Copies of this chain bind each other. A is one copy, B any other.
């Protein structure tokens, strides 16, 4: 466990609206606490997730966690906010087909990784069970959809899909069948499903199914 003295000093100076300088102490506390939240979620799941265990794991006093995040659901919500803040390299292969395949492949790999796949899965299951975290999940997907939509916007500019195509809807169509298996029907997520979802979204986009 890290030395808690500096954090304890900080806690006493933290107001309800801490100044959050990137790289500052407040940011370091956030990183430690949200990392601990994810690790606890992976170890014990949502049902047995407690502020006490997250406090112990992060070395941050539980009073700080309650004051800043309200509780477990606020912590999960902030994990999602942080995930949405983290930049990712949106594919830009020069072809809509390859870009869509890259996107569905990232989702497929993320959820089926034998070592880390349980983390995003547990996070989404947890978020679906709390209205506060569910709102954060909606925001997370809004951000991700917006970023990924860039591959469609570029494809329209290149003439690969018709003018007026709803770029976000192409992204939703590519992603939805994977999440449908994982979180609705409970069917296994196989590589061919990621491949088919990309091909289907591409064909539908090319055919003008998403023109507003």
A169 to B201, CA, bound (A): 13
Does more than half of chain A's interface fall in helix, strand or loop, or is it mixed? helix
- Is A179 among interface residues, defined by CB-CB distance under 8 A? yes
Indicate the member of A169, A176, A207, A210 with the most B CB atoms within 10 Å: A176
- Is A1 among interface residues, defined by CB-CB distance under 8 A? no
Contact call B184/A183, Cβ cutoff below 8 A: yes
Count of residues in A whose CB is under 8 Å from the partner chain: 39
**Other than the known A124-B184, A172-B185, A203-B203, what 9 A-B pairs have Cβ atoms closer than 8 Å?**
A129-B129, A137-B185, A169-B196, A172-B177, A173-B197, A176-B180, A183-B184, A184-B184, A203-B206
Query: Which residues of A are in contact with B by a Cβ distance under 8 Å?
Result: 124-125, 128-129, 134-135, 137-138, 141-142, 145, 166, 169, 172-173, 175-177, 179-181, 183-187, 196-197, 199-204, 206-210
